[in-house]
Amino acid sequence: MSKSRVVIVRSEKVLSKSKQIDSFVLSEMLKKGLQTLSGDLDFRDSIRRHYSPQDVLGLKVNCLAGKGASTHPEFAVAFANLLKQSGTKEKNIIIWDRSNDELEEVGFPLNCKGDGLRCFGTDTDGVGYSNNLYEHLNIGSLVSNILLNYTNVQVDLPALKDHSLAGISCALKNYYGAINNPNKYHEDGGDPFIADLNALPEIKNQSRLIICDALTVQYKGGPSYHPSWNEVYGGVLISSDPVALDFVGSQIIDQLRQKKNLPTLEKSGLSPKYVFTAADKNHNLGKASLEEIDKIEINV
């Protein structure tokens, strides 16, 4: 039985005491994580296993919670720079989320049509959602035209955080930001809806890598930012299996909760059931057990 690999890269130097990001250290963390995931000696070969220089890549960030519990702009830019070094043209990289206001609130500079690295939301004039309804299992939604028409492959760049309804928000749940009606699908902790959405062929077939921002982790009170329950973790999680990455991410949140003498997600009634549904035979999106996951932890 082949295992799904999840790499956790941590550094005590990536964030200053005021939580400013050291871009050089972050870039080294990403390079080391990519090499460890693939076994390649050069991170550019690791990237080329998943993306060709002809691809137009969507970097799907998560900005819903605002500063403090969202993907850091420096994080997305650091990975975009590695893509460019691997042969991807800058004009073929689009950082995106559902709205321009949320991107700007977090600190992403918008650039819809200009030269250079592009960054814009689905609500940009002339972009929007599909005209046709995409139906799959229990999901019926309009899908962002950025995913459908502006890009052909995705890099999932979530932020790791607790979620008061779903248990956690990370790789799988990040694609709620790609549809017009996510509020319809939070019942029963998002189970099975989050798994169903990720099984939608238009999303499943574009998913290649997940690079999770765990520099800081909202371990309670999420998905909103609550400073008292937000911990510096100094981490990056990398995998090609979104289910395995979410499984490992839930373990990290539980470790932080236990460190603070808080009940685990399960004891709080917040076990992320959708992660296990995503691993079942009907969805088959990845692995969700310790026996099936090759977890590697390294320090930079």
Per-residue pLDDT tens digits for 43-74:
999 999 999 999 999 999 999 999 999 999 99
| DSSP one-letter code for 13 | S
Q: What's the one-letter identity of residue 82?
A: L
**Residue 157, pLDDT above cutoff 90:** yes
pLDDT of residue 114: 73
Q: What is the 3-state secondary structure (H, E, C) of 77-106?
A: HHHHHHHHHCCCCHHHEEEEECCHHHHHHH
Per-residue pLDDT tens digits for 230-280:
999 999 999 999 999 999 999 999 999 999 999 999 999 999 999 999 999
Average pLDDT for 164-192? 97
pLDDT of residue 183: 95
Angstrom distance (rounded) from CA 96 to CA 23: 21
The number of CA neighbours under 13 Å toward the Cβ of 63 is 27
Give, for 1, the enclosing helix (H) or strand (E). Answer: none
Q: Please give the radius of gyration of the chain, using alpha carbons only, rounded to the nearest integer.
A: 18
Residue labelled with tokens 């979530």: 158
Helix (H, G, I), strand (E, B) or coil at 46: helix
Angstrom distance (rounded) from CA 195 to CA 139: 10
Per-residue pLDDT tens digits for 95-145:
999 999 999 999 999 999 878 899 999 999 999 999 999 999 999 999 999
Please write down the long-range contacts of 275-278, taking CB distance under 8 Å and 24 or more positions apart: 275/167, 275/168, 275/172, 275/243, 275/246, 275/247, 275/250, 277/191, 277/192, 277/194, 277/195, 278/172, 278/194, 278/195, 278/198, 278/199, 278/242, 278/243, 278/246
Average pLDDT for 181-202? 97
Angstrom distance (rounded) from CA 217 to CA 259: 13
Residue of 217, 190, 219, 194 lying closest to 204 (CA atoms): 194
Q: What is the 3-state secondary structure (H, E, C) of 133-197?
A: CEEECCEEECEEHHHHHHCCEEEEECEEEEECCCEEECCCHHHHHHECCHHHHCHHHHCCHHHHH
* Residue 240 CB coordination number (10 Å): 18
Angstrom distance (rounded) from CA 157 to CA 273: 21
pTM: 0.97
Residue labelled with tokens 């990289």: 93
Lookup: tokens for 42: 């050069």
Indicate the average pLDDT of the chain: 97
Cβ atoms of 57 and 109 within 8 Å: the answer is: no
Total residue count of the chain as it appears in this document: 300
**Residue 1, pLDDT above cutoff 80:** no
